[in-house]
Amino acid sequence: MPDDRDIAYYKKRLEERLAVIMAGKAAKNGEGPVKLDQTSVGRLSRMDAMQQQAMAEAADRLTDFERQRIGAAFKRIESGDYGCCVVCGEEIAEGRLRFDPSVLMCISCAQKAEGK
């Protein structure tokens, strides 16, 4: 597990990323479903709008997943398990944590999970 000085760095990075996510979510409030009034919009415009909506929904799902990972990272910090792989228990490389402080697995377990 990283020492207390590193934990403060990772915690700050996690808090900053969570703030960005929450600000983006707040800015998106008010976006509704695509209007399908055939008299006001052509078929291709509606298809384009539906595709954009589907892409926005996929991006929202990824953002929600990242928010959940950040929450899990905060729980691991509190429990003292932060910086350890959730699969094998080995310490996660510092470079990997610096790249993504919410990472759950060491590189070996991540590669195995991806089937590489």
Has residue 56 been placed in a domain?
yes
Domain membership flag for residue 92 = no
Segments forming the whole domain that contains residue 26: 4-82
Whole-number pLDDT of residue 17: 94
Residue 96 lies in a domain: no
On whether the CB atoms of residues 102 and 83 are closer than 8 A, the answer is no
**89 lies in some domain:** no
Q: Structural domain tally of the chain?
A: 1
70 occurs within a structural domain: yes
Q: What is the pLDDT of residue 4?
A: 66
* Confidence band for 49, pLDDT divided at 50, 70 and 90: confident
pLDDT of 95 strictly over 80: yes
What confidence tens digit (pLDDT) does each residue in 8-19 have?
A: 999 999 999 999
Of residues 30 and 71, more confidence is placed in 71
* Higher-pLDDT residue of 25, 41: 25
Contact (Cβ atoms closer than 8 angstroms) between residue 94 and residue 6: yes
Q: What was the pLDDT predicted at 41?
A: 59
Rounded to whole angstroms, the Cα distance separating 28 from 21 reads 11
The per-residue pLDDT for 52 is 87
Among the residue ranges 34-38, 49-53, 77-81, 86-90, the one predicted with the least confidence is 34-38
Amino acid letter for position 86: V
